Structure 1
């Protein structure tokens, strides 16, 4: 199973091309595209069939062992907040504080906060009715409002767990998920601001028309109080952040702090968030509770198999020793954080999915961490953040989220490309700049 560097490089390029071709032209689910690519690489380097299958199984299982609970619990938290009306309560509170004059900022901030536990496409669909009615009431162009909401959701979706891309990348390269949640949320703020500023500038030129799909915003039950609505998001983040701070500050020798550390584990923190989310509704029936939990598991299942397939693909690449070959033939040290950023950017632009782009990039970058100067605890976190920034750009017609925004806001292709797509470029560039600055301080 010995192959030259250039032969392995050709195999890697062919595998990436296969993933892009299958997912874009032939609409093959990402799971099968990644698994087929793993088999293609294994067969190309003449890996024994038994060893190849064992490697794929190990890669698939190991990544799910690390991330399975985080994904399922994060998805469950998002479903519960959506169902209990907590998202609408948070949006209403933020709008009341900012005022209709700053409605675009209100939607950006709402998107950011709601997007912490909820996937960007689901969050946009849930909030689109509020967004559209607010645009009519305030007189703010619908394009400006929709892209502000979309970019607020998108910024945190690309950068912070428990979203699947960054969570999977953390598992593949061994980054601390707790630190990634904290730093990802911080870096996402400038990304959100960049998206909002471009939406406000360009949105005036393309005001937008009536939405193609109107969402029913009628409230069927009273929502929770503002405090109850925010707690399921704020408390887990605080717990995770405190654990990272305690560890970083080397205070763990204090006995009572040691006892608190497990509470800040992402799994424990998300479980606490779920318990707080249950408190957002007064009465629960067995039927609705069972339906919601099953819906959460169903949604998480599709994500988990993609992540598992990414782990399998990464295990095959690691078995080929491609990282050692890169180290011998190429000096990547001078690129540092910009290599994972550029790689993810190319993959995202080519095939559309931020999740697939960052998982694929992570499998390629993992054996190159030492060569890139990122083989430290903080270096791995920065590497995932750089890939998250790359996965923002460029969102265009091959991205499912692009069409969710267009359909639920009634925006034409030309408007989407000139406002939303360009906004994602500014978001990615802003985020990688902030990641680079952060690298100088941690």
Structure 2
């Protein structure tokens, strides 16, 4: 019981210092790891090695994957590829169903691009479609927000799910996480779309333009022109599709039935489908999006920006792994094995812990990293230590990390301010939307567990 109390105090401390005092999540998680090692009475000689080895091995295993994934996302964002993808989808779907269009665009764009950046990029397009179709801006805002959010928390190579896979120990099955994460994210996006459609004719009083700070007020045409000639749609999609297909293909060739046999073809396919190699290939495809005379300078600038963006995520991921290693080495593992195994609550545990952390401190990535680190020692006692159990656990953590977005979440402010939605209205709509899609995603995961566990 003492071990559980220590865990509760450590988690409460992480939430307090990050949410109230705005301490870096990296420092909060690393501090919790070291304090926890003392509180759990780990041998002094083992504390430093437990923390540093977990930190180092995690960055060694997943660091390059996160870094290359971030590079692809930045290039897609800066090159106008995200706009090109959106326009390609509009040509197929049209503007007859504006909410569906925005949801689908968000669902695809947020696989490599952070949801905050995705909303900034696509907001002008959303406004243009809103004006063209006469639907409520509230509806298109919710549809775009939830579409972006769905894949952001559930589908690698977004950093959150990657970090969760590493902490839980299932990075060798990323293809399976992608294959199941895409339909689960689709369920979440559809739930958000249905909710958004209830506001199709709902008007609201926008925030006065004078109160907007640092908001891009350019029209869609002006934004589009700022990119110059947009990339070819096929080339725009290629940096996303290539890594996803390669990683999923790798999971297929490694099936026990060995469809490619065990020879040279198998070895080549296994090599190309390794997440790091798959993302390097995706990055190479992204280079075709660079245009103009200053390609090399532009590439170098975007790579430097990618490193800046990825650095905090890498540090948080490593610190979360260190925290998880301390928990795994503590008496907590035995306590949980004795007390959780007979409760039958399984996948509800990662979902509820992640949802609680997300709601308390605001960051989906921190919620995913922290929850997966906490969850790793519990997998056996929860009956989730099989390959499929761990894959579904990663998805359950991601589903919980949507619930709920409110004032302590930067994404809440990006959406509400760019869409000029008053805070009170945003609480009644945007916050509710994230709760609905998170619960819908968890419902889909539970249905999958009936057939797969």
What's the TM-score once normalised by structure 2's chain length?
0.92
2:5 is aligned to: 10
Q: Say if 1:239 and 1:269, in contact at 8 Å, map to a contact too.
A: yes
Once the two structures are overlaid, the 10-residue window that deviates more, 398-407 or 136-145, is 136-145
Once the two structures are overlaid, the 10-residue window that deviates more, 376-385 or 323-332, is 323-332
2:325 is aligned to: 315
2:198 is aligned to: 201
Structure 1 position 417, deviation (Å): 1.4
- Aligned partner of residue 323 in structure 2, secondary structure: helix
Structure 1 215/264 Cα, relative in aligned 2: closer, same or farther at 3 Å? farther
Q: Hey, what's the Cα distance between the residues in 2 that align with 1:347 and 1:252?
A: 43
- Aligned partner of residue 394 in structure 1, secondary structure: coil
Question: Which one of 253, 259, 277 corresponds to residue 286 of structure 2?
Answer: 277
1:263 is aligned to: 272
1:181 is aligned to: 178
Question: Which one of 33, 37, 49 corresponds to residue 28 of structure 2?
Answer: 33
Structure 1: 5+ residue runs without aligned partners?
Answer: 1-5
Once the two structures are overlaid, the 10-residue window that deviates more, 44-53 or 392-401, is 44-53
Structure 1 332/314 Cα, relative in aligned 2: closer, same or farther at 3 Å? farther
How do 1:266-415 residues align onto structure 2 when only pairs under 5 Å count? 266-283=275-292, 284-332=294-342, 334-415=344-425
Q: Hey, what's the Cα distance between the residues in 2 that align with 1:187 and 1:340?
A: 16
What's the TM-score once normalised by structure 1's chain length?
0.95
Q: Hey, what's the Cα distance between the residues in 1 that align with 2:67 and 2:447?
A: 33
Question: Which one of 258, 264, 279 corresponds to residue 250 of structure 1?
Answer: 258
Structure 1 position 290, deviation (Å): 1.0
Q: Hey, what's the Cα distance between the residues in 2 that align with 1:290 and 1:336?
A: 46
Q: Say if 2:253 and 2:269, in contact at 8 Å, map to a contact too.
A: no
Q: Hey, what's the Cα distance between the residues in 2 that align with 1:128 and 1:425?
A: 22
Structure 1 position 145, deviation (Å): 1.0
Question: Which one of 205, 211, 219 corresponds to residue 225 of structure 2?
Answer: 219
How do 1:420-439 residues align onto structure 2 when only pairs under 5 Å count? 420-439=430-449
How many residues of Structure 1 are paired with residues of Structure 2 in the alignment?
A: 437
Structure 1 position 103, deviation (Å): 1.4
1:3 is aligned to: none
Structure 1 position 48, deviation (Å): 4.2
- Aligned partner of residue 209 in structure 1, secondary structure: coil
Q: Say if 1:120 and 1:154, in contact at 8 Å, map to a contact too.
A: yes
Structure 1 position 206, deviation (Å): 4.3
2:19 is aligned to: 24
1:52 is aligned to: 47
Q: Hey, what's the Cα distance between the residues in 2 that align with 1:286 and 1:28?
A: 37
Q: Say if 2:139 and 2:200, in contact at 8 Å, map to a contact too.
A: yes
Question: Which one of 108, 131, 134 corresponds to residue 103 of structure 2?
Answer: 108
Q: Hey, what's the Cα distance between the residues in 2 that align with 1:130 and 1:171?
A: 36
Q: Hey, what's the Cα distance between the residues in 1 that align with 2:22 and 2:201?
A: 35
In the TM superposition, what whole-angstrom CA distance separates every residue of 1:94-150 from its partner, at most 9, and x where no partner exists?
122222221111111111111010111111111112212322232221111111111
Q: Hey, what's the Cα distance between the residues in 2 that align with 1:192 and 1:7?
A: 41
1:70 is aligned to: 65
Structure 1 position 250, deviation (Å): 3.0
- Aligned partner of residue 386 in structure 1, secondary structure: helix
Structure 2: 5+ residue runs without aligned partners?
Answer: none
